[in-house]
């Protein structure tokens, strides 16, 4: 595996590259590079906004000549150890899997599916715990290793050896675990508005500024089914009445315990009433540490 910095105007992009697809760019000078595994790292080093990284990541990861002509979206389920995961898909060509973030579902990338399905097989699943995928009561079922198993199952469902994987917000954290546990199934990794795992673990446990910014997650971890959702406060800033009503209705029926279970199970900072596992913290201090690299995804290999 080799590392290379690519100049794009006055900005630099850090790429980890391996053999794989051929990408062609049209920047100051035409450049053809071969990439198998893309991961945009060190966002802080180059001081780019999340939106800029979103554009750059998609530019480099999706500039591949596809073979499909596009098609009408269709829906289906895959099953991983008895858990049903719903997805929407469209198109033909290399597999592009897009995973939504917190409090969303597969509709997040509906507009992007229309365009990308002209060149790719686009699959947008809904995470377990959120309908129409199965909603589980057991918090242990939301360990990200299970989500990785769900994504590997979807890749296999489409008869693909590898896929370009994009993840927004919490979905971005999940696909980073997929890249660590099953790197042989990854053709490209696109991170959209998401922290870098496991660097984020270090910050939450030891950086006072990050701890302050992450205090909002305490309420997520304290949530119990039946607690007030306060959807009216959330939607009051939406100007369009029909849109505001639709979002409020979506929140009213949304099973928040499924979403918050991801924080209870996976968030790096321990709940306030638990003692810190300092042995695990020490392992985390080495950037790509053995703790993560030794993890195995669950479900499809059980």
Task: Answer whether residue 57 is part of any domain.
Answer: yes
d(C-alpha 36, C-alpha 7), whole Å: 19
Please say whether the beta carbons of 18 and 184 come within 8 A. Answer: no
Q: Domain check: are 204 and 193 in the same one?
A: no
Number of structural domains (the chain) is: 3
Task: Answer whether residue 299 is part of any domain.
Answer: no
Does 171 have pLDDT greater than 80?
yes
**Alpha carbon 222 to its chain's center:** 24
**Final residue before a domain boundary, out of 197, 229, 256:** 197
Q: Which helix (H) or strand (E) holds 131?
A: none
Domain span holding position 57:
2-62
d(C-alpha 132, C-alpha 291), whole Å: 33
pLDDT value at position 156? Answer: 96
d(C-alpha 212, C-alpha 208), whole Å: 6
pLDDT per residue as tens digits for the range 220-231: 777 777 777 777
pLDDT value at position 152? Answer: 95
Task: Answer whether residue 143 is part of any domain.
Answer: yes
* Burial of 239 from C-beta contacts in 10 A (0-12 / 13-18 / 19+): exposed
State the pLDDT confidence band at 76, using cuts at 50, 70 and 90.
Answer: very high
State the pLDDT confidence band at 298, using cuts at 50, 70 and 90.
Answer: low
Reading phi first (left if > 0) and then psi (alpha if -120 to 50, else beta), residue 275 is in beta
């Amino acid at each position: 595996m080799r590392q290379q910095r690519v100049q794009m105007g006055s900005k630099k992009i850090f790429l980890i590259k391996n053999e794989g697809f051929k990408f062609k760019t049209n920047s100051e000078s035409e450049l053809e590079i071969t990439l198998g595994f893309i991961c945009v790292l060190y966002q802080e080093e180059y001081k780019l906004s999340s939106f800029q990284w979103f554009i750059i990541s998609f530019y480099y990861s999706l500039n591949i000549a596809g073979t499909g002509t596009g098609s009408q979206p269709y829906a289906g389920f895959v099953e991983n150890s008895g858990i049903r995961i719903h997805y929407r898909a469209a198109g033909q060509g290399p597999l592009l899997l897009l995973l939504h973030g917190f409090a969303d579902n597969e509709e997040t990338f509906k507009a992007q599916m229309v365009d990308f399905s002209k060149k790719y097989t686009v699959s947008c699943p809904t995470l377990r715990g959120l309908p129409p995928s199965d909603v589980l009561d057991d918090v242990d079922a939301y360990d990200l290793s299970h989500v990785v198993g769900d994504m590997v199952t979807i890749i296999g469902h489409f008869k693909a050896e590898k896929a370009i994987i994009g993840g927004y917000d919490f979905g971005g954290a999940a696909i980073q675990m997929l890249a660590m546990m099953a790197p042989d199934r990854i053709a490209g990794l696109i991170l959209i508005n998401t922290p870098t795992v496991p660097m984020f673990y270090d910050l939450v446990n030891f950086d006072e500024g990050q701890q302050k910014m992450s205090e909002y997650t305490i309420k997520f971890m304290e949530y119990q089914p039946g607690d007030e959702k306060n959807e009216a406060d959330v939607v009051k800033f939406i100007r369009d009445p029909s849109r505001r009503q639709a979002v409020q209705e979506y929140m009213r029926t949304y099973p928040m315990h499924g979403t918050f279970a991801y924080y209870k199970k996976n968030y790096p900072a321990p709940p306030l009433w638990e003692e810190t596992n300092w042995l695990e913290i020490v392992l985390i201090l080495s950037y790509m540490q053995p703790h993560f690299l030794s993890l195995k995804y669950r479900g499809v290999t059980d």
